[in-house]
Every structure is written in C-alpha cells, then in structure tokens.
Amino acid sequence: MSPNEAEAIESELAPPFTVAQPQQLSLPLVFNSPHSGRIYPSAFLAASRLDSLALRRSEDAYVEELFAFVADLGAPLLYAHFPRAYLDVNREPYELDPVLFRDGLPHYANTQSVRVVGGLGTIARIVSESDEIYREPLTVGAALERINRLYTPYHETLRRLMLNAQKEFGLAVLIDCHSMPSGPATDGGDRPDFVLGDRFGTSCSGELTRLAANHLKGLEYKVALNKPYAGGYITEHYGRPHKGRHALQIEINRALYMDETSFEKSSGFKRLKGDLETMVKALAAGIPGLAIPRAAAE
C-alpha cells in the first residue's frame, strides 16, 4: 500500500471507532459492537471482487443503534466504523490466512486456527460461506498496517473501558453485541431470536447469563445458549469472572429488525430496541448480587 492510499483510508475512517460515553458512569457495564462498522474504504472496494452490498453480508448492521440507549443508562458503548470484512477485531491480532498473502507471514502469526482455516481470520478472505473478497493476494505489510492502525487502538480502548468500570465498581461486565443471519439452524430447525454466549460458563457468571435468557424468554423470544455461537475472541479474552471481569456475547437474529436483502430497518426495530433496554435494566439490577473476587476488590 502506498503512503497516499494509507492516508486516504485513514481520512475515510476518521475516526475509526467511537466511544459513546455516559455523562456519569453509573453501571459496571461496558457495551461493544465490533462488527457494525459500515464505512468501506474506497481502496478496499477497488481491491475487492465483490460489490459493496455483497460485502455487507458479514456486517452486524445497526447493532450500535440498537444499543445506543446505554449511554443514557450510565454505561459506555464502543463501536467500530470500519467493517468486519476489512478488519475483524473479534479475532486474535494475528490470525492470518497464508492463502490470502503473496509473501511469507511472520513467525508469530496463527495460521491454523479454525477461523483462519474457514477464511475468517483477522483479515477475512471470504464473506458469507464462500465468497472470496479480494481480486489478488495482499501483502503482509498491508495486513500489519491495518492491525497497527485499527486493531491495536481499538483493543486498547476496550481494555481501558473495562479497567475503568472495574476500578469504579469492583467488577466489570462486557456485553459484546452482534447480529446473525436468519434462516435454518444447523439442526434444521428455525434459528433462535437470540443466542447468548458465555464460552460455556467460563467467561461470565451463570447468574447473569440466566438472567438475560430468562428476561428475553419472558418477552416471548426464542433463546439459545452457546450454540451455535459461544463467543469469539473478545468474549474469551476479556471474560475472567474469577478476576471480576465478565463477558457475555449477544447474537440477535437480523430478521427481528431489518430486511436482510435491502439492509433497510424493519418495523420491528423500535420494539426490539425497547426490549433490549428492559433486558439491560434487568442485568443492571442483577449485578449487585454478584460476588466481587477479593483480589479484584483490593
């Protein structure tokens, strides 16, 4: 990538992400929407064999808008402006696919993870199930430039938000916000309305997971736990309940709030947003009952 191209992309993605801060931090909750970015750099579009609509199939469209209310409740919301197809911050920093690059990868790259093998590493090779993104292989330098410019500061910001919450309240609860395509589930049945992922109980208190699930079920939504989405890198990396840091991933069925072909919001958007707000309030009410590890409180 030439210096001019890098400058143009930096300008298009200025700022690359936003933190919607509350006027006063009053909840130990931190919200994150890593895949709702929809600013597609022109150089990226030119390098892709897909059109912009096809690229959007991997986007968690409007998720940051669904959770925009959290700042008014006293919790921050971090969300990306760059799209997942350009850089995926819900991966290890160097999950890099050797098929995607024309030159050799650094020794520290993870080239064998399940996500890389599936074409969905830190720099994705595909969208949907098998649609190749790029016309030609990339240089490793271009990948490292994206990671240094976008991935690293994003995670530094998320880490700071978690530490701030824990310092203020003794514990921090990360809600990692995502959406999923509708359609049949892997078992042939209907895909649920929500999938809650806590890495099978390792990233978040089971009390909080059950509280969220029961509240949504009470609103007559179909809720699944950990299948097919148990939580990605962010949930796994930031969820340390024994250290007072919890992480719960929420996957929302896109059919609840948008037309998946046109990417237009549907009439269900407003109702869903209101239901999510009641769920967040229920979580906030349940947090004081969680035990704060002694080491985290000191």
pLDDT in tens, 168-184: 999 999 999 999 999 87
pTM of the model: 0.95
Nearest 5°: the CA angle 61, 181, 178 is 50
Task: For residue 165, give the CATH number of its domain.
Answer: 3.40.630.40
103 falls within a domain: no
Q: How many domains does the chain have?
A: 1
Say yes or no to pLDDT of 156 above 90: yes
173 falls within a domain: yes
259 falls within a domain: yes
CA–CA separation, 282 vs 206, rounded Å?
A: 15
181 falls within a domain: yes
Residues 222-279 have pLDDT tens digits of 999 999 999 999 999 999 999 999 999 999 999 999 999 999 999 999 999 999 999 9
Say yes or no to pLDDT of 21 above 70: yes
Q: Which two tokens stand for residue 181?
A: 């395509």
95 falls within a domain: no
Say yes or no to pLDDT of 94 above 80: yes
CA–CA separation, 233 vs 270, rounded Å?
A: 30
Q: Which two tokens stand for residue 95?
A: 């999950």
Contact indicator for 62, 258 with CB cutoff of 8 Å: yes
* Torsion (CA) 80, 233, 59, 48 in degrees, nearest 10: 90
Say yes or no to pLDDT of 298 above 60: no
The answer to which of 83-92, 121-130, 146-155, 169-178 has the lowest mean pLDDT is 121-130
Q: Give the pLDDT of residue 7.
A: 75
Q: Which two tokens stand for residue 130?
A: 């098998």
Closest CA to 198 of 206, 187, 190, 188: 206
Residues 277-292 have pLDDT tens digits of 999 999 999 998 776 7
Structural domain that includes position 159: 3-84+148-297
118 falls within a domain: no
Average pLDDT on 85-113 reads 97
Average pLDDT on 207-212 reads 97
Q: Give the pLDDT of residue 267.
A: 97
Q: Give the pLDDT of residue 1.
A: 61
Q: Give the pLDDT of residue 296.
A: 52
164 falls within a domain: yes
203 falls within a domain: yes
Q: Which two tokens stand for residue 252?
A: 């929302």
Q: Give the pLDDT of residue 109.
A: 97
CA–CA separation, 66 vs 26, rounded Å?
A: 20
